[in-house]
Amino acid sequence: MLTPPPRPAPPLPAALLAVAPPTLLAWNVAPSATALNQLLALAGWALLLLLVPLRQPLPARLAALRAAWPLQAALLLLALAALASGVFGSLPASLMLSALGLLAMAMMVAHAGVTTGATDDGDALPIAFAWAWLVTGLLGLAIGVVQVFAPGLADGHWIASSNLPGRAVGNLRQPNHLSSVLLWAAIATVTLLQLRRLTPAAATTAFAALVFGVVLTASRTGLLSVCLLALWGLLDRRLHRATRALLLAAPLLYALTWLAMVQWAELAQHTFGGAARLAETDVSSSRFGIWANALALIGANPWTGVGWGEFNLAWTLTPFPQRPGAFFDHAHNLPLQLAVELGLPLAALVLALLAWALVRMGVQARRAQGEAAITQRMALAFVLMIGLHSLLEYPLWYAYFLLPTAWMAGFGLGRCAAPPRAGPARAPALRVPAAALALALTLFAAWDYARVAAIFSAADDRPLDARIARGQGSPLFAYQADYAAATTEVEERLRRRGFAGATHFLLDTRLMMAWTEAWAAAGDLDRARHLAARLREFHNPASRDWFAACAPEAEPVPEPPPVQCTPPQQAYGWRDFLPQR
């Protein structure tokens, strides 16, 4: 007698586990404000792959893989680019391995989405995701309301305090990130209304509240995304009348709640961050400047780019007298970022594959019927929404956005698979081992991060040199330990290793001043002068005292003048500062 296969876990708890904790956790451990959130995302998705197995006939599985190959090929090319940057370029191993791990997980999650989309009963899990995102969005909204209307209750442990007065930032501490979570929840609300899982009254209330949450973030990206919701309602004539009306009303809801917030702030003598945003003179928040600089770097490195993960180093060390004042580690535009780091040929290929996958999802969304059409359109809307965000920021560099996007894209492409011949349903043989390995590696990453976090903990009484040396042995987070080594007084060997690693992550004022002085101490005054000249271009207040010695009225006038006070005698490129291999 055959034993029936074990019943899979209910999809809703598994979906909630994957999407809610990573975006709602406020507690963080230095040095990274989002490391724990990303580790939770990785663990949650690994558990979902373990708890919600999908059984398919082999022909169905092969058809799904054929349908999804553009997405998987694009992710594989990105992984190869990261590998090449570490093996053949100068990217530190810890940054390379971190990127490879995240991209490998994205490929696994995309495959799970493809498998779901290609099954006959594949709508249960996307509907569970719709409920999970609605719950997550409403909880995120509650956090944002506290941050704006009762900031004193934000203790930093359960609710993060906002560093932007009068603006909701969520527990991810970034208004654009909270905005994207709320907008995904709005898409989920519309989906559940269309599926008749929510009543019109409940859906309208939730949708209006979520749009109000976007107003509280004062995110310009959020405003554009609200307009994208209205465009969906305008173009999709197969939606129910109530669903279309809700989508079309999104900009009106945004405008009304914005005006209400302005009036409340005036009457209550309270701060509304959105009003301050309207007074800003730079509507792009320095994006126009960084895009112009990125185009210049592409012009200088058109074929092979600067290498995966090397944008910040190349941009910081290239002369840009009119550069933005912030320290950017990303071009804040996905096509530009790929072009500047991978080069035009490879970036064009990756973008073409992603565009092909998106077009196939759109075509299938138009062809699909019944519930399958609704969940297909939800997946397409999720991907388009985060795609719009990716034209202005870099949300896909965070696991809690990349993995849901990979699953939705995979699910949409799985729907494109032709109906296969019937056959015995089997679970993929490698599903459980692969998911278990992903979970084990995530737990290892958490332990590995704890080794580095000890450097920044006042409770750890071990000598700083010992903690830094141990942290520099981390396979995934050594670059964080390298920063501590480069910017503190520790053994010279630790500092040298620190500069070799930390400078590829994010060059900021403190690191650039330390690096300048290190080059000067090594006797290479001209390279030190080049670094100082680049730092001067940022006009950063943190470097004001350092450059004060160069002012004409400075007394006594040092002789010879400090290294930061004289220009370099020759021109240098950013590659002139890479260690010799």
Mean per-residue pLDDT, 364-372 = 85
For 218-261, what is the HEC assignment? Answer: CCHHHHHHHHHHHHHHHHCCCCCHHHHHHHHCHHHHHHHHHHHH
Residue 216, judged by CB atoms within 10 A of its CB (0-12, 13-18, 19+), counts as buried
Report the DSSP pairing between strands 56-57 and 425-426.
antiparallel
Q: Is the dihedral of CA 34, 40, 41, 46 positive or negative?
A: positive
Q: What local confidence, expressed as pLDDT, does residue 284 receive? A: 73
Torsion of CA 526, 501, 95, 447, to 10 degrees: -160
Enumerate the domain spans of the chain. 129-281, 508-550+558-581
Cα 120 to Cα 55, 124, 201, 385: the distances in Å are 10, 10, 31, 27
User: Which of 28-42, 121-135, 358-372, 453-467 has maximum average pLDDT?
Assistant: 28-42
pLDDT band of 370, cuts 50, 70, 90: confident
Q: What local confidence, expressed as pLDDT, does residue 55 receive? A: 61
Mean per-residue pLDDT, 169-182 = 97
- Rounded CA gap, 83 and 297, in Å? 22
Rg (CA), the chain: 25
State pLDDT tens for residues 73-102: 999 999 999 999 999 999 999 999 999 999
Work out the number of other CB atoms within 10 angstroms of the CB of residue 562.
17
Q: Is the dihedral of CA 412, 413, 418, 424 positive or negative?
A: negative
Q: Is the dihedral of CA 535, 539, 545, 547 positive or negative?
A: positive
Do residues 135 and 20 touch, judged by C-beta distance below 8 A? Answer: yes
Q: What local confidence, expressed as pLDDT, does residue 116 receive? A: 85
pLDDT band of 28, cuts 50, 70, 90: very high
Q: What local confidence, expressed as pLDDT, does residue 268 receive? A: 87
Mean per-residue pLDDT, 279-296 = 86
Q: What local confidence, expressed as pLDDT, does residue 419 receive? A: 56
- Rounded CA gap, 246 and 392, in Å? 26
Q: What local confidence, expressed as pLDDT, does residue 5 receive? A: 46
Q: What local confidence, expressed as pLDDT, does residue 335 receive? A: 98
Q: What local confidence, expressed as pLDDT, does residue 396 receive? A: 97
**Percent of the chain's residues with pLDDT above 70:** 92
Mean pLDDT for all residues in the chain: 91
pLDDT band of 372, cuts 50, 70, 90: confident
pLDDT band of 387, cuts 50, 70, 90: very high
- Rounded CA gap, 169 and 216, in Å? 9
State pLDDT tens for residues 492-509: 999 999 999 999 999 999
Q: What local confidence, expressed as pLDDT, does residue 367 receive? A: 86
Helix (DSSP H) and strand (DSSP E) numbers for the chain: 25, 2
Mean per-residue pLDDT, 60-69 = 75
- Rounded CA gap, 554 and 547, in Å? 10
- Which residues lie closer than 8 Å to 266 by C-beta, 6 or more apart? none
State pLDDT tens for residues 394-422: 999 999 999 999 999 999 998 876 555 45
Q: What local confidence, expressed as pLDDT, does residue 1 receive? A: 37
- Rounded CA gap, 376 and 544, in Å? 54
Please name the residue that has the structure tokens 């961050």: 273
Q: What local confidence, expressed as pLDDT, does residue 418 receive? A: 53
Q: What local confidence, expressed as pLDDT, does residue 428 receive? A: 62
Name which of 245-249, 422-426, 513-517 the model is least confident about.
422-426
Q: What local confidence, expressed as pLDDT, does residue 417 receive? A: 64
- Rounded CA gap, 290 and 2, in Å? 63
CA angle 411, 416, 421 (to 5 degrees): 105
Name which of 57-66, 172-181, 516-525 the model is least confident about.
57-66
- Rounded CA gap, 164 and 373, in Å? 40
Q: What local confidence, expressed as pLDDT, does residue 422 receive? A: 52
Q: Is the dihedral of CA 310, 311, 316, 318 positive or negative?
A: positive
Has residue 334 got a pLDDT over 50? yes
Has residue 63 got a pLDDT over 50? yes
Has residue 134 got a pLDDT over 60? yes
- Rounded CA gap, 520 and 515, in Å? 9
> How far is the first Cα of the chain from the last one, in angstroms, to the nearest whole number?
64
State pLDDT tens for residues 531-566: 999 999 999 999 999 998 888 766 666 677 889 999
- Which is higher by pLDDT, 17 or 281? 17
- Rounded CA gap, 578 and 85, in Å? 13
- ω into 70 cis (within 30 of 0): no
